[in-house]
């Protein structure tokens, strides 16, 4: 009899799940995962590998409906609420209208040219070292975007130009070449001309609104390549 009871206890121990010694992460981590699922899921769908907190170390929380970046600072991306499922691969990169989530500001176009006096007609993809390099950036921020900026209480647009050097393997971020600009939100839509001083080789430019990498609205381009010829 005692032998049978021991076997019964052993069987129940195998069938019933044991209480976990690792309790579920508390609210901050849950907010981070929910926020990342909603925000970065949208970013991956429309901005290749995400735009929210791209230059802020990723999403680590949610405050007042906006993503909080791991390196500090607040993203323009929404968060909180239900987690939105990432679209299947076949639908990624397809514009879905002005209700699209992710960074509030988008790019209209980014062009490279050798002059800064008038808008370029063509985009140059390579430059000699004796040529000037100017990056023309057109921002897209329609009425809904401006209303959202106003709700943030932000009167300025913090814009940054980042450069990666591409040796042919993994591109290397060159923080020393970062260029920051700040513009009045009332000036939107905005056209910005930024000079670049680059060494010979292949380079990749990316544009940020605060900690968020922003992409073109129509074709969702986030990285822009140029070559400097010795």
Shared domain for 110 and 186, answered yes or no, is yes
Shared domain for 114 and 57, answered yes or no, is no
| Long-range CB contacts for residues 122-128, cutoff 8 Å, separation at least 24 | 124/226, 125/225, 125/226, 125/227, 126/226, 126/227, 126/228, 126/229, 127/226, 127/227, 127/228, 127/229, 128/228, 128/229
Shared domain for 136 and 218, answered yes or no, is yes
Domain count along the chain: 2
pLDDT of residue 225: 97
Q: Do residues 217 and 107 lie in contact, with contact meaning Cβ atoms separated by under 8 Å?
A: yes
Q: What is the pLDDT of residues 9-29, one digit of tens each?
A: 444 444 444 433 333 332 333
Rounded CA-CA distance 91/210 in Å is 28
Q: What is the pLDDT of residues 83-93, one digit of tens each?
A: 333 333 333 33
Q: What is the pLDDT of residues 119-166, one digit of tens each?
A: 888 899 999 999 999 999 999 888 888 888 888 887 788 899 999 999
Shared domain for 149 and 216, answered yes or no, is yes
Which comes out higher in pLDDT, residue 103 or 171?
171
Shared domain for 73 and 118, answered yes or no, is no
pLDDT band for position 175 (cuts 50, 70, 90): very high
Domain range for residue 71? 26-82
Shared domain for 46 and 123, answered yes or no, is no
pLDDT of residue 50: 60
């Amino acid at each position: 009899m005692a032998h049978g009871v021991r076997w019964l206890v052993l069987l129940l121990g195998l069938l019933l799940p044991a209480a976990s010694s690792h309790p579920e992460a508390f609210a901050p981590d849950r907010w981070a995962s929910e926020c990342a699922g909603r925000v970065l899921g949208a970013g991956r769908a429309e901005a290749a590998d995400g735009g929210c907190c791209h230059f802020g170390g990723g999403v680590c929380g949610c405050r007042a409906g906006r993503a909080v970046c791991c390196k500090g600072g607040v993203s323009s991306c929404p968060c909180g609420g239900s987690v939105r499922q990432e679209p299947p691969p076949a639908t990624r990169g397809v514009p879905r209208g002005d209700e699209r989530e992710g960074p509030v500001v988008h790019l209209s176009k980014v062009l490279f040219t050798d002059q800064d006096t008038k808008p370029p007609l063509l985009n140059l993809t390579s430059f000699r070292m004796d040529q000037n390099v100017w990056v023309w950036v057109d921002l897209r921020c329609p009425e809904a975007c401006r209303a959202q900026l106003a709700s943030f209480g932000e009167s300025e647009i913090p814009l940054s130009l980042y450069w990666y050097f591409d040796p042919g393997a993994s591109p290397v971020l060159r923080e020393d070449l970062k260029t920051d600009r700040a513009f009045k939100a009332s000036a939107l839509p905005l056209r910005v001309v930024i000079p670049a001083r680059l060494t010979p080789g292949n380079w990749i430019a990316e544009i940020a609104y605060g900690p968020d990498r922003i992409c073109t609205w129509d074709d969702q381009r986030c990285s822009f390549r140029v070559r400097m010829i010795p």
